[in-house]
A and B are shown apart, each in its own frame.
Chain A
Amino acid sequence: ETGVTQTPRHLVMGMTNKKSLKCEQHLGHNAMYWYKQSAKKPLELMFVYNFKEQTENNSVPSRFSPECPNSSHLFLHLHTLQPEDSALYLCASASGGAMEQFFGPGTRLTVL
């Protein structure tokens, strides 16, 4: 595997379910990001991790819970989501000191 991978690619869940999104980067980067992209809207930064430490949480509801066990893996744990949380969730990574972020293909999430 190369670059940034995300699983699953598609996820349909009910509002009472608990699920997790997984991201893995094979680029040797030390920063990882979670973004939410809703239709025709800008990408919204959710969480930032640098060297496994969370450095940003942009007022994201607690029903989204990130986890970064090491600098190659990033998870987003989901529970009791709302239909308006349906969106494309993108993971990205970057090298320390670099502005360019490298993205995974995203997980298309639908909350029923």
Chain B
Amino acid sequence: DQQVKQNSPSLSVQEGRISILNCDYTNSMFDYFLWYKKYPAEGPTFLISISSIKDKNEDGRFTVFLNKSAKHLSLHIVPSQPGDSAVYFCAASERSNYQLIWGAGTKLIIKP
């Protein structure tokens, strides 16, 4: 059973608007969460992370929100740009073991 789920395989957003990518997890022991972006023919690149002691972390156009009670996190990208078109992966971990558990990814398409 998947411990990290990204239920939307794809998402299409108009350039300049907000993109919201969602991720759900089942393991209440997870205490660190990361988002990665992946372009075709490249490996995933780290985007932003959040510790379970916070509920929000912001880095430029990217903000990650964590709702521990709902076991849900989301990545907001605003404004969305054409270069944001990629597959976005959510990953979670217990800090004690340094292993990342991954979602299946959401393909984000930014329309001009």
**How distant is the Cα of A109 from the Cα of B44 in the complex, in angstroms?**
17
Say yes or no for B43: interface residue by CB 8 A criterion.
yes
**How distant is the Cα of A53 from the Cα of B103 in the complex, in angstroms?**
27
Given A90-B44, A92-B43, A106-B43, the answer on whether A101 and B104 have CB atoms closer than 8 Å is: no
- Of chain B, the residue at the smallest CB distance from A10 is B41
Query: What residues of A have a CB within 8 angstroms of the CB of B104 in the complex?
Result: 40-42
B97 CB to nearest A CB, Å:
9
Query: What residues of A have a CB within 8 angstroms of the CB of B42 in the complex?
Result: 105-106
Determine the interface band of chain B, counting residues with CB < 8 A from chain A. Answer: 20 to 34
B59 CB to nearest A CB, Å:
13
Q: Which of B4, B34, B43, B102 contacts A99 (CB 8 A)?
A: B34
Among B56-111, those with CB < 8 Å from A are 89, 91, 93, 95, 98-105
Contact B34 A100 (CB under 8 A): yes
Given A42-B2, A43-B102, the answer on whether A99 and B89 have CB atoms closer than 8 Å is: no
Interface size for A (C-beta < 8 A) is 23
**How distant is the Cα of A25 from the Cα of B14 in the complex, in angstroms?**
37
Q: Which of B93, B99, B105 contacts A48 (CB 8 A)?
A: B99
Contact A45 B44 (CB under 8 A): no
Say yes or no for A94: interface residue by CB 8 A criterion.
yes
- Of chain B, the residue at the smallest CB distance from A94 is B98
Contact A99 B45 (CB under 8 A): no
A73 CB to nearest B CB, Å:
17
Given A40-B9, A43-B89, the answer on whether A103 and B45 have CB atoms closer than 8 Å is: yes
Contact A105 B49 (CB under 8 A): no
Q: Which of A4, A31, A56 contacts B43 (CB 8 A)?
A: A4
**Bitwise interface map of A from 83 to 112 toward B, beta carbon under 8 Å scored 1, else 0:** 000000011101000011111111000000
Contact A103 B43 (CB under 8 A): yes
**Bitwise interface map of A from 36 to 63 toward B, beta carbon under 8 Å scored 1, else 0:** 0000111101001000000010000000
Given A40-B9, A48-B99, A94-B98, the answer on whether A102 and B89 have CB atoms closer than 8 Å is: no
